[in-house]
Amino acid sequence: MANTSDTSTTTAPAASEEAARNANRSTTPGSEGFKEYIGSGWAERSEALPAARAQASFAAARRERVSREFRGIRLIIPAGGMKQRANDTDYPFRAHSAFAHLTGWGSDSEPGAVLVFEPNGDTHTATVYFRERAGRDSEEFYANTSIGEFWIGPRPSLPHVAADLAIETRGIEAFDRVLASVDTSTLVVREADPALTERIDHARIRYAAEEALSTNAADAPFSLEVNGEHEPDAELARVLSELRLVKDEFEVAEMRAAIAATQRGFSEVIEELPRITAEVRGERVIEGVFATRARLDGNDVGYGSIAAAGPHATILHWTRNDGPVVPGDLVLLDAGVELDSYYTADITRTFPVNGRFSEVQRLVYEAVLEAADAAFAIVRPGVVFREVHAAAMQVIARRTAEWGFLPVSAEESLQPEHQFHRRYMVHGTSHHLGLDVHDCAQARRSMYMDGVLEPGMVFTIEPGLYFQPDDLTVPAEFRGIGVRIEDDILVTADGAENLSAAIPRTADDVEAWVRGRR
């Protein structure tokens, strides 16, 4: 149907774009009589304003830290807009993680919203701009399939969001005044909303040109790019990533809740093994069972679930999930529930379909478990993050050398110029975890891989061994076996806590889990 909404500033599809998608099938009534009739006869809305959500005070503290880093500089953090899936259908909306972190607005956030830090002396005034609900006397109410209340339900009001998030709010049309004030120092999270970033880039260039003309400095143009990107914008992205390296009290509680929901999802997969093995594409059943739990307990899965059975378990990012689940094989399930706050778990368990490891499967499994436990054993404040990976690799190198798979000794293989054991585990052992499954990705190496562990950090430990079906460097009985064990780890004041330890990990416990739940 044609979209006849206004075209004021927003990252939702423009009215003309929406109309073009559906022009050949539009039947929306356009008479004045219909407009008058559909806009009348509605009960009065009464809205009791909510108390501020639990995350609001934590988000405010995060904004204060950002404000101190960028005194006197306007900052623009978009939530992002809808992304087209096919013709007039879009992917489910998910706000950019930096926006969610700094506002506390998660799965109920509005597409096209923008957080602005406006300089105010030595601090900033933070405001969320978004398109609030339209009146029932507007065409948008019934004719706009992207944002009309008839189509997607009522949107929140400005006062409601202001109370809920404990932050100032304004209508999206007022954001035009922000754009008019953009100068060369204004910073934006570039990846969040490419269309809006382009408008800000043009505004910065225009401001620089006007400044150059007014000062007769036309020979000193403003450049947006340094090494392919706008360097100050990259600095903003870096700061916002590093802000998430250490989780606050609210975030740790959300991680615990996401992991508990993920544990329920894993257990439900085990319960459904009879149905899973009966289907030709049993991996799809695993995916669906877990996705159901994710939608019941949270917003969605935190990433595309890997439900890899048999030789598919040797493919690190197997997300097609279209194979059978056969007794005698292993299943590698890598999945996590993302809560409505967007915090996600990331857990992997590998289990035998028939409830018992074969001799070789158990040998591989226990080597991976040994590597995971060795990595966990060194985690404590003061340890360098990359040392966690190194601890796991020592076990992987030793075991593959003992089995005769390496052309050199374990000690030689661990040298940087060799690394032969990495043939069987090419990925890293750990990554930070939080709002993104690979969280804090734009942090500096000195703060991430070479960073020092602090209490409140949350990351994965996930060693594995993967023997491809056609790998002639290993005996035939090893080929087609893939094992990964992944847990979510919290650094504490004096050590570490395995947040996902309640999900069975040892070979004996996994066997009992599968046999018992079935």
* 132 and 65 in a common domain: yes
- Check which CATH number belongs to the domain holding 452 and give it: 3.90.230.10
Residue 295 resides in a domain: yes
- Check which CATH number belongs to the domain holding 120 and give it: 3.40.350.10
How confident is the model at residue 4, as a pLDDT? 33
Nearest to 450 by CA among 390, 361, 514, 375: 390
* 486 and 354 in a common domain: yes
How confident is the model at residue 47, as a pLDDT? 82
* 288 and 149 in a common domain: no
* 345 and 416 in a common domain: yes
pTM above 0.75, yes or no: yes
In the predicted structure, residue 292 carries a pLDDT above the cut 70? yes
Residue 5 resides in a domain: no
Domain residues for the domain of 221 are: 15-242
* 418 and 391 in a common domain: yes
Tell me the β-bridge partners of 460.
488
* 255 and 237 in a common domain: no
For 292, the token pair is 């159901």
Q: Is 242 within 8 Å of 449 (Cβ atoms)?
A: no
Residue 3 resides in a domain: no
Residue 389 resides in a domain: yes
Query: Hey, what's the torsion of the CAs at 487, 490, 495, 501, to 10 degrees?
Result: -40
Handedness of CA 303, 309, 315, 316 (dihedral sign): positive
Residue 10 resides in a domain: no
Report the domain count for the chain: 2
Rg (CA), the chain: 26
Give ∠ CA 358-485-305 in degrees, rounded to 5.
105
* 202 and 73 in a common domain: yes
Cβ atoms within 10 Å, residue 29: 11
For 513, the token pair is 């889990």
Residue 104 to residues 55, 186, 190, 260, 435: CA-CA distances in angstroms?
Answer: 6, 23, 20, 21, 11
**Of 207, 242, 277, which marks where a domain is finished?**
242
* 377 and 476 in a common domain: yes
> What percentage of residues in the chain have a pLDDT greater than 70?
92
Residue type, 287: E
* 153 and 19 in a common domain: yes
In the predicted structure, residue 280 carries a pLDDT above the cut 90? yes
Tell me the β-bridge partners of 126.
117
For residue range 345-401, list pLDDT tens digits in order. Answer: 999 999 999 999 999 999 999 999 999 999 999 999 999 999 999 999 999 999 999
Region of poorest pLDDT, from 143-147, 229-233, 266-270, 473-477: 229-233
pLDDT band at 264 (very low <50, low <70, confident <90, very high): very high
As a whole number of angstroms, the distance between CA 357 and CA 466 comes to 16
Tell me the β-bridge partners of 168.
127
As a whole number of angstroms, the distance between CA 260 and CA 254 comes to 10
* 351 and 431 in a common domain: yes
How many alpha carbons fall within 13 Å on the CB side of residue 504?
21
**Of 219, 242, 265, which marks where a domain is finished?**
242
Q: Is 469 within 8 Å of 479 (Cβ atoms)?
A: yes
* 285 and 196 in a common domain: no
For residue range 15-56, list pLDDT tens digits in order. Answer: 456 555 666 767 888 899 998 899 899 998 888 999 999 999
Residue 310 resides in a domain: yes
Cβ atoms within 10 Å, residue 144: 27
Q: Is 363 within 8 Å of 405 (Cβ atoms)?
A: no
As a whole number of angstroms, the distance between CA 261 and CA 294 comes to 7
**Of 242, 271, 286, which marks where a domain is finished?**
242
What is the mean predicted confidence (pLDDT) over 179-187?
A: 96
What is the mean predicted confidence (pLDDT) over 483-497?
A: 98
Residue type, 213: L
Query: Residue holding tokens 């734009």?
Result: 442
Residue 213 to residues 210, 217, 480: CA-CA distances in angstroms?
Answer: 5, 6, 68
Residue 123 resides in a domain: yes
* 253 and 143 in a common domain: no
Tell me the β-bridge partners of 125.
118
